[in-house]
């Protein structure tokens, strides 16, 4: 029987190694896998590279992981926010490395990793600081920049409902990076608010097919 | 600081809204452009896109009805209109990057006479850079417009011969809405479309760092 359910958060995060690249879903608070991040803090892996759109808000969730000193590098598009004080302090102190990526490149580089694409050309960023040193080519009348895929060891995503095969549905804008991150990681750990019997999810409405998910854990809303 | 009669931020937003045509798919950037949502033309049907994964975005919900799984790019609660849809981030940016949006309106630090845009980073040594979707939007939408104050707080023109701040994208801006005027970026240079509150071309030219053309130029 295929059953990706794990009994609790400790089992969900078991085996995440020091130095791992960990994708974390969410855009601000929507779709942020808060319970999985807390469990990663408890699990103890260090020297992590984190991939997220932002670099933590307030003091909980991703900000707490940063504050615990467990992140050596963050790959994101929009670190600076009104409540990004934890990241700001680490960055100013030179205690965290930042790879700043235009948001569309971030999403597409993650998607490319999941789709087995070795790289792609895009006009985004051409002639800017964020494309410095990158290969460029003139294609279809515009200059384009070569971008590489972002692979991860682990993805932590928050979805709405799941079944034992790992099929997932999402809720509203909480979907954001979940589907592409699930495809790009060796080990995708999905937290859901409800686990339903196999066959109960409408096949027309499944957004992430279960083959992209390795572990499924239920967490309270 | 110039004492020219500037229009308010709300008036700027209302002026931008006038140019949103029937049927358009529109992305309004965070900051000043978000104000445009207050003045959307009720007599035309169009679709608002939000980069975090929404088409058919509606106004903010009433107090107490916020759903924090339904937010906009500025991470504020919004609503979904009938016909609206949700999708993941790579699809959302494919909409931008694939040329499927008709119009985007962005804030800016500077716009050059060639339509170069600087709006993501001041380049100051102690500044923490953040780019978000600005580079994707600026190049991806069929028409990119900028909405910004005409002058910096120090009274310097934000329309410049060459951007001194780091570029977001080169040659992308088509129209500039400021608190003094509406201007188009044309192959010949920056052209005055409309000046507010009776401001004359000479007055506007005196506070603008690039030569201004008029539509009836010889």
| Average pLDDT, 10 consecutive residues per value, chain A (221 residues) | 98 98 95 97 98 95 97 96 94 96 98 98 97 97 97 98 98 98 98 98 98 98 90
Shortest Cα distance from B92 to chain A (angstroms)?
Answer: 8
Task: Give the pLDDT confidence score for residue B217 in this predicted structure.
Answer: 67
pLDDT at A114: 98
Which pLDDT score, from 0 to 100, does residue B123 have? Answer: 85
Residue B99, pLDDT score: 96
Let me know if B51 is a catalytic residue.
Answer: yes
Q: Does residue B98 form part of some domain?
A: yes
- Tens digits of per-residue pLDDT, B42-86? 999 999 999 999 999 999 999 999 999 999 999 999 999 999 999
The better pLDDT of the pair B1, B134 is held by B134
B125 band by pLDDT with thresholds 50, 70 and 90: confident
Distance between CA B153 and CA B167 in Å, rounded?
A: 21
Structural domains counted in chain B: 1
Separation CA A150–CA A147 (nearest Å): 9
Q: pLDDT at position B20, please?
A: 96
How confident is the model at residue A66, as a pLDDT? 97
The model's confidence at residue B1, banded by pLDDT at 50, 70 and 90, is: low
State pTM to two decimals: 0.96
| pLDDT recorded at residue A28 | 84
Residue of B nearest to A123 (CA): B139
Question: Would you place residue B124 in the very low, low, confident or very high pLDDT band (cuts 50, 70, 90)?
Answer: confident
Q: Which CATH superfamily is domain A9-119+148-218 in?
A: Glutaconate Coenzyme A-transferase (3.40.1080.10)
Taking only the tens place, the pLDDT of each residue in B32-52 is 999 999 999 999 999 999 999
Please tell me the distance from the alpha carbon of residue B162 to that of residue A114, in angstroms, as a whole number: 40
Predicted pLDDT of residue B164: 96
- Give the angle subtended at the CA of B74 by the CAs of B10 and B65, to the nearest 5°: 90
Residue B75 to chain A, least CA–CA distance (Å): 6
Residues of B within an 8 Å Cβ radius of A: 50-54, 67-71, 75, 80, 86-90, 92-94, 96-97, 121, 126, 128-136, 139-140, 166-170
| A171 contacts on B by Cβ (under 8 Å) | 69
The distance of Cα B117 from the centroid of its chain, to the nearest Å, equals 11
Beta-carbon contacts of residue B183 (< 8 Å; ≥ 6 apart): B159, B175, B176, B190, B191, B192, B193, B212
Q: What is the pLDDT of residue A170?
A: 98
CATH number at residue B172: 3.40.1080.10
Residue in B53, B66, B99, B165 to test binding to A, most A beta-carbons within 10 Å: B53
What is the model's pLDDT at position B159? 98
- For residue B50, list chain A residues with Cβ-Cβ distance below 8 A: 173
- By the 8 A CB rule, do A143 and A176 touch? no
Q: How many helices (H) and strands (E) does chain B have?
A: 4, 13
State whether residue B70 is helix, strand or coil: coil
Query: Which residues in chain B have Cβ-Cβ distances shorter than 8 Å to A88?
Result: 128
- How many Cβ atoms are within 10 Å of B154's Cβ, its own excluded? 6
The whole domain housing B61 covers 9-211
- Which of A23, A124, A168 to probe by mutation at the B interface, max B CB count within 10 Å? A124
Q: Does residue B216 lie in a domain region?
A: no
- Report chain A residues whose CB lies below 8 A from the CB of B75: 27-30
The pLDDT, as a whole number, for residue B93 is 98
Which SS3 state, helix, strand or coil, does residue B39 take? Answer: helix
The length of chain B, given as a count of residues: 218
Span between the terminal Cα atoms of chain A, in Å: 28
Which candidate from A92, A123, A176 shows the least CB-CB separation from B52? A176
pLDDT at B218 over 70: no
* CB-closest option in A30, A88, A178 to B88: A178
| Residue B1 falls inside a structural domain | no
Domain edges within chain A: 9-119+148-218
Per annotation, catalytic residue among B51, B66, B156, B188:
B51
User: For residue B58, which residues of chain A lie inside 8 Å, CB to CB?
Assistant: none
Q: Rounded CA gap, B128 and B116, in Å?
A: 22
- Average pLDDT of span B155-173: 97
């Amino acid at each position: 029987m295929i059953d990706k359910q794990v009994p609790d958060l400790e089992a969900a995060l078991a085996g995440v190694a020091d130095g791992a690249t960990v994708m974390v879903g969410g855009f601000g608070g929507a779709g942020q896998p808060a319970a999985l991040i807390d469990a990663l803090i408890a699990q103890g892996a260090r020297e992590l590279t984190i991939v997220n759109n932002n670099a933590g808000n307030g003091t909980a969730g991703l900000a707490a992981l940063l504050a615990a000193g467990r992140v050596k590098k963050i790959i994101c598009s929009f670190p600076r926010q009104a409540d990004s004080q934890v990241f700001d302090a680490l960055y100013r102190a030179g205690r965290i490395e930042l790879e700043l990526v235009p948001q569309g490149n971030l999403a597409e580089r993650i998607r490319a990793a999941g789709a087995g694409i070795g790289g792609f050309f895009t006009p985004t960023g051409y002639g800017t600081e964020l494309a410095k040193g990158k290969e460029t080519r003139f294609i279809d009348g515009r200059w384009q920049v070569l971008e590489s895929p972002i692979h991860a060891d682990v993805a932590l995503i928050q979805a709405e409902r799941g079944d034992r095969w790992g099929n997932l549905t999402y809720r509203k804008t909480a979907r954001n990076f979940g589907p592409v991150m699930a495809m790009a990681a060796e080990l995708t750990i999905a937290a859901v608010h409800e686990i339903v019997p196999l066959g109960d999810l409408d096949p027309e409405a499944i957004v992430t097919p279960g083959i992209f998910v390795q572990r499924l854990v239920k967490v309270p809303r | 600081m110039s004492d020219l009669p500037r229009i308010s931020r709300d008036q700027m937003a209302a002026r931008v809204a006038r140019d949103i045509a029937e049927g358009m798919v529109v992305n309004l950037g965070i900051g000043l452009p978000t104000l445009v949502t207050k003045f959307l033309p009720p007599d035309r049907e169009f679709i608002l896109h939000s980069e975090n994964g929404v088409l058919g975005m509606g106004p903010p919900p009433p107090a107490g009805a916020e759903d924090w799984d339904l937010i906009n790019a500025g991470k504020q609660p919004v609503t979904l209109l009938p016909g609206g849809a949700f999708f993941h981030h790579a699809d959302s940016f494919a909409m931008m990057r694939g040329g499927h949006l008709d119009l985007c309106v962005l804030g800016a630090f500077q716009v050059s006479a060639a339509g170069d845009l600087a709006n993501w980073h001041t380049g100051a040594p102690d500044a923490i850079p953040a780019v978000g979707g600005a580079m994707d939007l600026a190049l991806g939408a069929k028409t990119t417009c900028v909405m910004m104050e005409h002058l910096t707080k120090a009274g310097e023109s934000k329309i410049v011969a060459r951007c001194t701040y780091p570029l977001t994208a080169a040659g992308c801006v088509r129209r500039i809405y400021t608190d003094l005027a509406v201007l188009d970026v044309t192959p010949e240079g920056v052209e005055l479309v409309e000046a507010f509150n009776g401001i004359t071309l000479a007055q506007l030219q005196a506070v603008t760092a690039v030569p201004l053309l008029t539509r009836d130029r010889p």
